[in-house]
Amino acid sequence: MSTSVEREEDLPSTPWLERDADALLACLDLESAELSVLLCGDHRIAVLNAEWRGSQAPTDVLSFPQDDEVVLGDLVISVEMAVKQAQERSHGLQDELRILLVHGLLHLLGYDHERDRDSHDEMAAREGEVMKSLGWRGAGLIERSFEQAEHEGAH
């Protein structure tokens, strides 16, 4: 099991992130897998999001899967976005980065909540299972987005 974490300069230190990613791989029985994580700012992820998804805005996490059983792929996480989301949800940066790791890794494994309702529900459930199994705080990203949309619709 091997996780490589790189970060752009001027970002907060996250010495625990590699351990968290390795724990996530172990939880999913992916001990022999390799994962690459890049922590960046909103500008860099916005450029990648525009290039690969056609969206001109920054996002919190992007997943770039490899067609390989050992090398799972790359996750790119905007720390700026993670800090904002952590503040909005009243938890720490580590909790938010864990949520984004789970979401991004599930995408690398083929889960896709944007395909259809069944796929959405399946990925949301899997996020919750993984978070609970690891004893990590917070709802999965999909569940949280759904709850937020419901809350905003109620107003």
Q: State mean pLDDT over 88-103.
A: 95
In sequence order, what are the residues at sequence separation of 6 or more whose Cβ sits closer than 8 angstroms to the Cβ of residue 80?
41, 42, 58
What pLDDT is attached to residue 143? 78
Domain borders along the chain are: 2-150
41-90 pLDDT tens trace? 999 999 999 999 999 899 999 999 998 889 999 999 999 999 999 999 89
Closest alpha carbon to 18 in 43, 46, 38: 38
> Could you name the CATH architecture of 2-150?
3-Layer(aba) Sandwich (3.40)
Beta bridge partners of 34: 2, 71
Q: State mean pLDDT over 107-131.
A: 92
